[in-house]
Amino acid sequence: MKADKILKYLLQIAGLILINKTGFYIVEFFELRIPGNVLGMILLSVLLWTRVVRLEWFEGAADFLVRHLSFFFVPISVGLMTLGGIIAENGIQLAVILVLSAIVGMVFAGGTSHVLVKRKGGEKAGNSAHDL
């Protein structure tokens, strides 16, 4: 990798971290009952949707992070090993919650992907009716 590309990725990741930390600060300041990282993702979505920030500003870092997403699950998996008793006591409830949340996540991800593919196809065809 070239040094300028690495610097670009680092700046993009720094921007994503800044938006994430902003979510945490908002939650702390207003004493909201929502996780700071969730508010950070909502904030990023709103900024992208309103075009205050552009997708190109974060696209390279986002692609890199998604490519290496499985690596980020290692600490979570190790942490789950210490919770064997809780999982044994509440296994059925946890399984139901995990399955339902996975279904909801897949529905939203699929719907979002569908909308974005249609939108991108509409731009290629010169049709602006697919804009969000």
- CA torsion angle 36 88 100 81 (round to 10): 50
Question: Is 14 in contact with 60 (CB distance < 8 Å)?
Answer: no
Question: Residue 119's pLDDT is what?
Answer: 84
pLDDT per residue as tens digits for the range 22-69: 999 999 999 999 999 999 999 999 999 999 999 999 999 989 888 988
> Are the CB atoms for 129 and 115 separated by under 8 Å?
no
In angstroms, rounded to a whole number, what is the distance separating the alpha carbons of residues 22 and 87? 33
The pLDDT tens digits for 75-122 are 888 887 888 888 888 889 988 999 999 999 999 999 999 888 888 876
